[in-house]
Homo-oligomer: A and B are copies of this chain.
Amino acid sequence: MELNKFPKERYLKYYILGFVDAEGCFNVSLKKQKNTRFGWVLDPVFHVTQHEKSRDVLELIKKTLKCGRIIEKHGQKETLQFLVDNRRQLREKILPFFDRYELIVKKEDFILFKKIVEGLENKEHTKLETFEVLIKLAFQMNMKGKQRRYKLKDVLDDIMGSSETTRRTQT
């Protein structure tokens, strides 16, 4: 990788900004998980996907953002992903980078992603009302035309149910 393509580090950061605005993904998946308070977890992940022959650019992103890892994409041969799923790295590296270098195309998704990551940091998933707010934010996020596996109403009903069960068990 010839880094003289970027005579100043700031130029590299704007290159990464443009690359992520085109190919990056701020994703918050919602998963059923039995041994949690409400039976559901929100899982924020930032990733950039490329063909394995473009590993160089993923290494460059990893180095610039100072976090994350590069893995083979599950079930897709010859495809790599730069991925950050560690909450602390998201909070300390990813959020400040894209606060400083502002996305255009993915700005709305980033704002929602940021609210959810910060919400999880503030333990908002441990209280029914605030957890519901986080879930609704996740449902507002762009899924690139894909449908979410679960419907918002079903998830909220299910959470209400497990919340009532918990209360009944406790009384």
Residues of B contacting A1 in the complex (Cβ-Cβ under 8 angstroms): 104
Residues of B contacting A105 in the complex (Cβ-Cβ under 8 angstroms): 50, 54, 56-57
Interface mask (A109-141 → B, CB under 8 Å = 1, otherwise 0): 000000000000000000000000000000000
Interface size on A, residues (CB 8 A): 25
A168 within 8 A of B: no
Interface mask (A1-43 → B, CB under 8 Å = 1, otherwise 0): 1100110001110111111111100000000000000000000
Chain copies in the assembly? Answer: 2
Interface residues of A in 76-117 (CB under 8 A from B): 102, 104-105
State which of B6, B22, B104 has its C-beta within 8 Å of the C-beta of A14.
B6
A60 within 8 A of B: yes
Nearest CB in chain B: distance from A55 CB, A: 10
- Nearest B residue to A7 via CB reads B10
- Nearest B residue to A1 via CB reads B104
What are 19 A-B pairs at a CB distance below 8 A?
Answer: A11-B11, A11-B14, A14-B14, A14-B15, A14-B18, A15-B18, A16-B18, A18-B18, A18-B19, A18-B21, A19-B22, A22-B22, A23-B23, A54-B104, A54-B105, A56-B105, A57-B104, A57-B105, A60-B104
State which of B10, B17, B102 has its C-beta within 8 Å of the C-beta of A18.
B17
Residues of B contacting A2 in the complex (Cβ-Cβ under 8 angstroms): 102
User: Once the chains are docked, how many angstroms separate the CA of A11 from the CA of B102?
Assistant: 12
A5 pairs with B104, CB closer than 8 A: yes
A57 pairs with B14, CB closer than 8 A: no
User: Once the chains are docked, how many angstroms separate the CA of A170 from the CA of B16?
Assistant: 57
A102 pairs with B5, CB closer than 8 A: yes
